[in-house]
Amino acid sequence: MVLVNSKEFATHQEKYLNLALHQQVFVKQGENMFVVTKAKEKKLLKPDADFHRAISMDEFQRRALLMVDKLDKKYAK
């Protein structure tokens, strides 16, 4: 564990990012404390059935506007 202030971190950023590959680096800025760690790799998934059933943004917008129009006509009386 390494604790540095924000000015030191900004000055030697590459050094502390390399250090964060192996241990936690804490950066203190005033009353706030930040932790710099290496992110775990996320496994990317292939498109599934839900993806292929999804509608496009244009289709969603068209359907949403139709629904809003129907609600407006129903309650605007």
pTM across the whole model: 0.52
Confidence at residue 39, expressed as pLDDT on a 0 to 100 scale: 81
Spatial distance between the Cα atoms of 1 and 31, rounded to a whole number of angstroms: 19
Neighbours of 26 (CB within 10 A): 15
For residue 26, pLDDT over 90 is answered with yes
Spatial distance between the Cα atoms of 65 and 58, rounded to a whole number of angstroms: 11
Averaged pLDDT, 39-56: 87
pLDDT band for 43, please (50, 70, 90 cuts).
confident
Count of residues in the chain: 77
16, 27, 49, 54, 69 from 44: Cα distances, Å: 28, 31, 16, 19, 39
For residue 11, pLDDT over 80 is answered with yes
What 3-state DSSP class applies to 4? strand
Confidence at residue 42, expressed as pLDDT on a 0 to 100 scale: 80
